[in-house]
Chain A
Amino acid sequence: MKEIKIRTHNLTLFYGAKMALNSISMDIPEKEVTAFIGPSGCGKSTFLRTLNRMNDLIPSVRITGEVLVDGLNIYDKQIDSVNLRKKVGMVFQKSNPFSKSIFENVAYGPRINGLNNKAKLAEIVETSLKKAFIWEEVKDRLHDSAMGLSGGQQQRMCIARTLAVEPEIILMDEPASALDPISTAKIEELIFELKKNYTIVIVTHNMQQAARVSDLTAFFYLGELIEFGKTRKIFTTPDKKHTEEYITGRFG
């Protein structure tokens, strides 16, 4: 087993009075792909968003327990969520490019971090787009609006935008759920490539996708972590009956 990148300890989360996550403890290893599966409303997306404190935006959320990234509790009062998110990037379900040019989209992250050197920015944009396998498709139209890209291209550009900030962890919230099979295949290929250098956590509704891209799989149900282990084991010989039923499609 590789080194632990993220460790949660008795993480419990409430939306107002409703408990959405119940005492979740898990270790996510470095430079591997960890997939979260489970039926809608089971808390997997909520859990993903606690890992870079995106839930801070929702006023009624209350969290107890610990999330340790590289051994540091990110819910410590001293921690600035802004700097945390530079280290823990996120790709969303719906591609969300800004209504700016492709170049400006990717350069946004470095720019707000104070980088203004044009040559340096251009270099970062190029390497980020190359890492996201979209450079060849957009290199001649960098200064066109990102809104003109197709859905799949937009999503890969959003991944490039996340990579431009040089995070160590990338959280993906159903990154391919709104895409056609060809674009989905490209994203999966990209995830496979990215895990060499990044720790990836992905939420997906697509069981085959989880089986294809991930090294580890966690099954969530009603706010609880039911089972967590090697993907091959979860999909072939799960310990819990619940997991088996979900994976074989008997409920969900």
Chain B
Amino acid sequence: MDNPKETSGFVFSKESLKKKFRLSEFLSEKIITGVAFLSIAIIVLIFFFVFRESLPIFSQQKAVVKVEHAEKQEQYGVAADSTQTNSSGQEQYGVTSNDTMMIEDQAREVDTVVHGSDRATAKSLLGKQWLPVSDNPRYGLIPLFVGTLKITLIAILFAAPIAILAALFSAAFAPYWLREIIKPAIELLAGFPSVVIGFFALMVMASFFQNLFGYDGRLNAFVGGVAMALAAIPIIFTITEDALTAVPKTYTEASLALGATRWQTALFVTLPAATPGIFAAILLGIGRIFGETMIALMATGNAAMIGINPFESVRTLAATIGAEMAEVVFGDTHYNVLFLIGALLFVFTFSLNAVAEFYVKGKLVKRFQGKQS
């Protein structure tokens, strides 16, 4: 250190200060940039794929209208009974003389026409029945939406108060050593495989609640909702806890110095100051519940019913994909509708997360930097 010139061996000249091209740094920088963009590209591509697979539903609407028209004509034919060239007549032909290739071909044509009439339209998607594999398939998404909303509501009613109160305890009341145990413990729950929670709900909770309330269906929205609350609690807890501890300590001190108790301080100062963060936590919790598949599949009973009774079985959007995607005919209407559900789930959770992110950032900055009023 006594002789800086010797130790560094650095000569201060125009030559030594010249800009240098450092290949390894240049490459590393490009690689990590590439990786970052790749992850964004993957998300965009997944969404693109999911949405593209659901597109046929919309693009075939015109064709569907035509087919319906044709069907109507056929029905007219039936009603008028003037000609015997309706579909059933042709089928009979096909059955009686199946040695003629031409008639068989005609029958197949009719078959495709009949199948075509089952194509989902925007109108039929708003139907009240989800019966994708019946002889007369119906793709009404309403029961799935109702089921998902019902279970989300039940789950969030359980998860939000528990998680927020637990976070408040951890942030404002728990002694330091206890907080160091509670927080990681609850955060570990977030990594709990949902299939295990589902299994627990299926085997233990379902029987317990049935004994408690004495309802008929063992698996229903209530059991599923409570199980999903278990999955959402860690997320809501963690984010709420972070929001509460981010409230400047000066707030708490100011309140305590005015003679407020710890409860009053937590309730009237800390909690209100952290509202944006808590709001975001709840939104992210809802996102988690909305997209949760395995628990819904295992604990809700999966019957697509519309009703407000919480002890009725429900079928959620995510569980529908999980249950039916493996058995669906590739390229079928059913297949397309499942992809449409996937796209809807994606859009919903994406916007939920976006609102949480931007709302919170904006609000918190305003609050703590005094740009309000």
Contact = CB atoms under 8 A, between A and B. Distances in A.
B273 A99 contact: yes
A162 interface: yes
Contacts of A98: 251, 254-255, 269, 273
A165 B254 contact: no
Interface residues of A, number: 29
A109 B253 contact: no
B373 to A, nearest CB: 4
B259 A82 contact: yes
A110 to B, nearest CB: 9
Contacts of A147: 367, 369-373
Nearest to A88: B257
Nearest to B268: A112
A175 to B, nearest CB: 13
Contacts of A124: none
Interface string A156-169: 00100110010000
Nearest to B267: A112
Given A99-B367, A147-B370, A92 B259 contact: no
B259 A96 contact: no
Q: Which of A82, A97, A165 has the most CB of B within 10 A?
A: A82
B373 A54 contact: no
Given A99-B367, A147-B370, A92 B253 contact: yes
B259 A112 contact: yes
B372 A85 contact: no
B259 A109 contact: yes
B121 to A, nearest CB: 51
B369 to A, nearest CB: 8
A85 B252 CA distance: 13
Contacts of A78: none
Given A92-B253, A112-B268, A165 B367 contact: no
A119 interface: no
A144 interface: yes
Contact of B258 (A57, A97, A109, A148): A109
Interface string B352-373: 0000000000000001111111
B260 interface: yes
Interface string B166-196: 0000000001100000000000000000000
Contacts of B60: none
Contacts of B369: 147
Interface residues on B, range: 20 to 34
B88 interface: no
A113 B259 contact: yes
B8 interface: no
A153 to B, nearest CB: 11
A113 B261 CA distance: 10
B258 A112 contact: yes
B256 interface: yes
Contacts of A97: 254
A93 B368 CA distance: 17
A109 B264 CA distance: 11
Interface in A145-182: 145, 147-148, 158, 161-162, 165
A120 to B, nearest CB: 17
Contacts of B253: 54, 57, 90, 92, 96
B259 A85 contact: yes
Contact of A54 (B248, B256, B261, B368): B256
A9 interface: no
Interface in B47-72: none
Contact of B251 (A52, A96, A112): A96
Interface in B248-306: 248, 250-261, 264, 268-269, 272-273
A208 interface: no
A52 B253 CA distance: 12
A161 B257 CA distance: 10
A89 B372 contact: no
Nearest to A100: B272
Given A92-B253, A96-B253, A112-B268, A148 B372 contact: yes
A85 B256 contact: yes
A236 interface: no
A108 B268 contact: yes
Interface of B: 175-176, 248, 250-261, 264, 268-269, 272-273, 367-373
25 contacts: A54-B253, A59-B175, A59-B176, A86-B258, A89-B257, A89-B258, A90-B257, A97-B254, A98-B254, A99-B367, A99-B372, A100-B272, A108-B255, A108-B260, A109-B259, A112-B260, A112-B268, A113-B259, A144-B373, A145-B370, A147-B370, A147-B371, A148-B370, A148-B372, A162-B257
